A and B are shown apart, each in its own frame.
Chain A
Amino acid sequence: MTAALETERLGMRFGRSWALRDCTVSLPAGAVVALVGPNGAGKTTLMNLVCGLLRPTEGRVRVFGEDADSGSAEALARVGFVAQEHPLYRGMTVAELLRMGRALNPRFDRNLAEMRLGALGIPLDRRAGALSGGQQAQVALALALSKRPELLVLDEPLASLDPVARRDFTRTLMSAVAEDEVTVLLSSHVIADLEAVCDRLLVLDHGTVRLDGAIDDVLAAHRMISGPREAAADVPGVVRAVHSERHSDLLVRTGVEAESLQHVLHPTWQEHPVGLEELILAYLEQSAVTR
Chain B
Amino acid sequence: MIWFTWRLHRAQVYAGLALIALITAIFLPYGHAVRGSFASHGVGTCLAHDTGGESCQTAMIAFVQQFNAIANHLSTWFSPIPGLIGAVIGAGVLGREYEQGTWRLAWTQSVPRGRWLTQRILLVSAGLTAICLTLSLVFTWFRSPMDQVTGRFAPGAFDLEGLSLTGYTLFAFALGLVAGLLLRRTVPAIVVAFAGFMAVRMPVEFWLRQRYVTPASKLSAPTLHHTMGPSAVPVTPGKPGWTLSYDLVNASGHTLTGAEQGRLEEQVRTMHDPDAYLRGLGLHLKTVYQPADRFWTFQFIEFSIFAGLAVVLLAFAVQRLRHRGV
- A and B: direct contact (Cβ < 8 Å)? yes
Q: Identify the A interface with B (CB < 8 A).
A: 12, 48, 51-55, 71-73, 76-77, 79-81, 83-85, 87-90, 92, 96, 99-101, 103-107, 140, 143, 147
Quick check: B114 and A104 within 8 Å, CB to CB? no
Stretch at the interface among B96-104, B156-164, B202-210, B220-228: B96-104
Residue of B nearest to A55 (CB): B325
Contact with A73, one of B102, B105, B111 (Cβ below 8 angstroms): B111
Quick check: B112 and A71 within 8 Å, CB to CB? yes
Contact with B101, one of A51, A79, A83 (Cβ below 8 angstroms): A83
Q: How many residues of B contact A (CB 8 A)?
A: 24
Quick check: B101 and A104 within 8 Å, CB to CB? no
**Contact flag A99-B3 (CB < 8 Å), given A87-B101, A89-B8:** yes
Bound-complex Cα distance A87 to B97 (A) = 10
Whether B200 sits at the interface, judged by CB under 8 Å, is no
Quick check: A71 and B101 within 8 Å, CB to CB? no
Quick check: A79 and B108 within 8 Å, CB to CB? yes
Quick check: B110 and A87 within 8 Å, CB to CB? no
Report B108 CB to chain A, min CB distance, Å: 4
Quick check: A89 and B112 within 8 Å, CB to CB? no
Bound-complex Cα distance A89 to B323 (A) = 25
Quick check: B110 and A100 within 8 Å, CB to CB? no
Quick check: A101 and B109 within 8 Å, CB to CB? yes
**Contact flag A103-B4 (CB < 8 Å), given A83-B105, A90-B100:** yes
**Contact flag A96-B7 (CB < 8 Å), given A48-B325, A53-B325, A55-B324:** yes
Quick check: B110 and A106 within 8 Å, CB to CB? yes
Query: 0/1 per residue, B208-242, Cβ < 8 Å to A?
Result: 00000000000000000000000000000000000
Whether B256 sits at the interface, judged by CB under 8 Å, is no
Residue of B nearest to A155 (CB): B104
Please give me the 3 A-B residue pairs with the lowest Cβ-Cβ distance, nearest first: A87-B101, A83-B104, A54-B325
Residues in B whose Cβ lies below 8 Å from that of A106 = 110
Bound-complex Cα distance A100 to B115 (A) = 16
Q: Identify the B interface with A (CB < 8 A).
A: 1, 3-4, 7-8, 100-102, 104-105, 107-115, 322-326
20 interchain pairs, CB-CB under 8 A: A51-B104, A52-B107, A73-B110, A73-B111, A73-B115, A76-B108, A76-B109, A76-B112, A81-B104, A83-B101, A83-B108, A84-B101, A84-B104, A88-B102, A89-B100, A100-B7, A100-B109, A103-B3, A104-B4, A105-B109
Contact with A104, one of B111, B323, B324 (Cβ below 8 angstroms): B111
Most buried by B among A72, A79, A100, A140: A100
Residues in B whose Cβ lies below 8 Å from that of A89 = 8, 100, 102, 105
Residues in B whose Cβ lies below 8 Å from that of A76 = 108-112
Contact with B108, one of A12, A81, A88, A103 (Cβ below 8 angstroms): A81
Most buried by B among A48, A89, A90: A89
Residue of A nearest to B96 (CB): A89
Report A31 CB to chain B, min CB distance, Å: 21
Bound-complex Cα distance A147 to B111 (A) = 12
**Contact flag A140-B7 (CB < 8 Å), given A55-B324, A55-B325, A73-B111:** no
Residue of A nearest to B114 (CB): A71
Bound-complex Cα distance A101 to B325 (A) = 23
Quick check: A143 and B326 within 8 Å, CB to CB? no
Bound-complex Cα distance A145 to B34 (A) = 63
Residue of A nearest to B111 (CB): A104
Bound-complex Cα distance A81 to B101 (A) = 13
Residues in A whose Cβ lies below 8 Å from that of B109 = 76, 100-101, 104-105, 147
Residues in A whose Cβ lies below 8 Å from that of B114 = 71
Residue of B nearest to A99 (CB): B3
Quick check: B110 and A147 within 8 Å, CB to CB? yes
Quick check: A87 and B102 within 8 Å, CB to CB? yes
Report B305 CB to chain A, min CB distance, Å: 33
Bound-complex Cα distance A128 to B4 (A) = 16
Report A64 CB to chain B, min CB distance, Å: 15
Bound-complex Cα distance A80 to B1 (A) = 19
Residues in A whose Cβ lies below 8 Å from that of B104 = 51, 53, 81, 83-84, 87
Most buried by A among B8, B110, B112, B326: B110
Report B84 CB to chain A, min CB distance, Å: 22
Report A179 CB to chain B, min CB distance, Å: 21
Bound-complex Cα distance A106 to B109 (A) = 10
Bound-complex Cα distance A53 to B109 (A) = 11
Bound-complex Cα distance A143 to B113 (A) = 18
Residue of B nearest to A89 (CB): B102
Residues in B whose Cβ lies below 8 Å from that of A12 = 325
Bound-complex Cα distance A90 to B105 (A) = 12
Residues in B whose Cβ lies below 8 Å from that of A87 = 100-102, 104-105
Most buried by B among A85, A87, A96: A87
Residue of A nearest to B3 (CB): A103
Most buried by B among A12, A51, A71, A90: A71
Residues in A whose Cβ lies below 8 Å from that of B100 = 87, 89-90
Report A21 CB to chain B, min CB distance, Å: 16
Residues in A whose Cβ lies below 8 Å from that of B1 = 103-104
Bound-complex Cα distance A14 to B107 (A) = 20
Report A196 CB to chain B, min CB distance, Å: 27
Bound-complex Cα distance A142 to B266 (A) = 86
Residue of A nearest to B113 (CB): A71
Residue of B nearest to A77 (CB): B110
Residue of B nearest to A52 (CB): B108
Bound-complex Cα distance A79 to B111 (A) = 12
Report B308 CB to chain A, min CB distance, Å: 28
Report B184 CB to chain A, min CB distance, Å: 14
